[in-house]
Copies of this chain bind each other. A is one copy, B any other.
């Protein structure tokens, strides 16, 4: 049995710098209609950058939505027309100063598929080389290298609530067969 919802009407009710919001009307499989609220978002990337010794490059930044600092993997939004891999390379360099010789896709992640179009492209970056970080003007963050085993402990202790960080780290663990 396959399900489908047909778009009947699309109505943009908010349009801002980062996101837009639509209130769409859809037709369901039983021919009745329903409203679907959709957040439009440009999408982004997140990078699990692992040093030769097994530590992972992490960033700490203040997240206003939760009024606290979070420890996360480096990430950023796609610029218009930007290819995800190039965005990942740009963001890793801007936020942490690191560049990587080896890149592997860890696939796409939908943070909130029930109402948001955002797609995050996850990458594993290895063979790292350290350079100078150059974050955006209004971007305040600190960079650290954390052993993978410590990050696993933090995940189990619920000290890493950021979804892309847990997804990225545990997909990397699965991929690396650790």
Contacts and interface: CB of A to CB of B under 8 A. Distances in A.
Interface of A: 1-5, 7, 13-14, 16-19, 21, 23-24, 26, 28-30, 32, 34-39, 60-66, 69-70, 72, 75, 105-120, 138, 140-142, 152, 155-156, 158, 161-164, 166-167, 170-171, 173-175
A112 B118 contact: yes
A115 B171 contact: no
Nearest to A137: B32
Given A1-B142, A3-B140, A24 B64 contact: yes
Given A107-B161, A163-B164, A114 B65 contact: yes
Given A16-B23, A21-B21, A110-B162, 16 more contacts: A3-B69, A3-B141, A4-B62, A13-B14, A16-B21, A29-B140, A65-B117, A107-B161, A108-B158, A110-B163, A112-B116, A116-B116, A120-B163, A152-B174, A156-B171, A166-B167
A105 B158 CA distance: 10
Contacts of A112: 111-112, 116, 118, 163
Determine how many copies of this chain the complex contains: 2
B167 A110 contact: no
7 closest Cβ pairs, A-B complex: A107-B158, A170-B170, A14-B14, A3-B62, A111-B111, A63-B113, A111-B112
A41 B170 CA distance: 26
